[in-house]
């Protein structure tokens, strides 16, 4: 589980925050498109019911379904919701003049309740949302992530670190596209950067490598084969390549910068304008992806570099 439901205060007690889980359920169903008919309240027996309305549109017209939502927040104790925690479901639906029942739970329904739900589905509309279903919905959409940041601030901050998004640095979203199929290689993360030059003359008195003249961005496999044949059709090039993902982590990005700086300075490499322009594009367009905190896995990798005194960077 990514989201810790214990971040939402317990439903019992007099802290003044005991209604938070019910308020969360209201906001959750709002982002799913339900209309809130009755907000959470405290009845004489301490139960808090939410009534929502779903609008279904089909070939026969529009149908409105009113749902009675029962919220159970047992995450702090870890208890599952049993059939005794949800008594008289049909009566409660009738009393509130609803058409169906939704269980909204921060743990899981017990087998007894699941069996009861299956039997009731023959008589009325029944749905339930457990913690895993709720989390999945929240983490799949921008609206859900915004709601998660409000009710699960600690979990959400950890999630952001482990699931980084490109920083909003430039006015428009940058991309690096395969030069054959046009797929965005920054999203697919299956692309390569290929750079080409002519073979050097090993028989020369002074060995000097020829400059890089051409380069291209490509998907691995079929696209690369087609583009390679295109570039080698009229020129006798040799090719070197790297994964674009190597440029999409902070430490990998630094390594690539240092490698190119060393090659241009110490090894006296030359890069002609066409190839150099694409190399600049690679660094520029990858920068928003590395302008962030490192994930746990990336932090583990950098420990290796530190142990070597950053030898791989220099």
Residues 6+ apart with CB under 8 A from 250: 290, 292, 294, 298
Q: Is the pLDDT of residue 313 over 60?
A: no
Q: Residue 58 pairs with which residues in a beta bridge?
A: 61
Give the lowest-confidence range in 80-89, 142-151, 227-236.
Answer: 227-236
pLDDT, tens digit (0-9, with 9 covering 90-100), for 97-154: 999 999 999 999 999 999 999 999 999 999 999 999 999 999 999 999 999 999 999 9
Domain topology for 5-162: Trna Endonuclease; Chain: A, domain 1 (3.40.1350)
Q: Mean pLDDT over all residues of the chain?
A: 88
Q: Residue 251: what pLDDT?
A: 85
Question: What whole-number distance in Å separates Cα of residue 183 and Cα of residue 52?
Answer: 42
In degrees and rounded to multiples of 5, residue 125 shows phi and psi of -85, 130
Residue 61's pLDDT is what?
86
On the question of pLDDT at 304 being above 70, the answer is no
DSSP tag of 130: -
Average pLDDT over residues 229-250: 91
Q: What percent of the chain has pLDDT over 70?
A: 90
- Residue 265 scores a pLDDT above 90: no
**pLDDT value of position 167:** 83
Residue among 253, 311, 258, 305 at smallest CA distance from 282: 253
Model pTM?
0.70
pLDDT in tens, 174-203: 899 999 999 999 998 899 999 999 987 766
Q: Above pLDDT 90, what percent of the chain?
A: 65
Question: Which range (11-20, 122-131, 243-252) has the least confidence?
Answer: 11-20
> Domain residue spans in the chain?
5-162, 185-307
């Amino acid at each position: 589980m990514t989201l810790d439901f214990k971040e939402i205060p317990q439903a019992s007690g007099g802290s003044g925050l005991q209604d938070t889980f019910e308020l969360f359920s209201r906001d959750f169903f709002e982002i799913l498109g339900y209309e809130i008919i009755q907000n959470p309240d405290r009845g004489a027996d301490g139960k808090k019911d939410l009534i929502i309305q779903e609008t279904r549109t089909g070939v026969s017209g529009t149908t409105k379904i009113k749902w009675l939502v029962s919220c159970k927040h047992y995450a702090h104790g870890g208890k599952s919701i049993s059939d005794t925690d949800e008594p008289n479901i049909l009566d409660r639906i009738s009393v509130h003049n609803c058409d169906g029942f939704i269980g909204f739970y921060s743990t899981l329904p017990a087998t007894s309740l699941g069996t009861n739900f299956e039997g009731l589905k023959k008589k009325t509309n029944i749905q339930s949302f457990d913690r895993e279903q709720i989390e999945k919905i929240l983490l799949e959409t921008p609206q859900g992530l915004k709601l998660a940041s409000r009710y699960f601030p600690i979990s959400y901050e950890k999630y952001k670190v482990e699931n980084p998004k490109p920083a909003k640095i430039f006015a428009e979203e940058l991309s690096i596209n395969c030069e054959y199929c046009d797929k965005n290689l920054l999203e697919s993360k299956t692309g390569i950067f290929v750079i080409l030059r002519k073979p050097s003359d090993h028989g020369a008195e002074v060995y000097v490598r020829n400059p890089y003249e051409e380069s291209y961005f490509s998907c691995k496999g079929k696209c690369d084969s087609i583009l390679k044949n295109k570039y080698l059709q009229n020129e006798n090039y040799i090719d070197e390549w790297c994964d674009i993902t190597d440029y999409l982590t902070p430490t990998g990005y630094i390594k690539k910068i240092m490698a190119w700086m060393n090659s241009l300075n110490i090894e006296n490499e030359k890069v002609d304008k066409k190839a150099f322009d694409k190399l600049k594009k690679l660094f520029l367009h990858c920068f928003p992806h590395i302008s962030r905190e490192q994930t746990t896995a990336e932090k583990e990798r950098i420990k290796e570099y530190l142990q070597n005194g950053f030898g791989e960077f220099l």
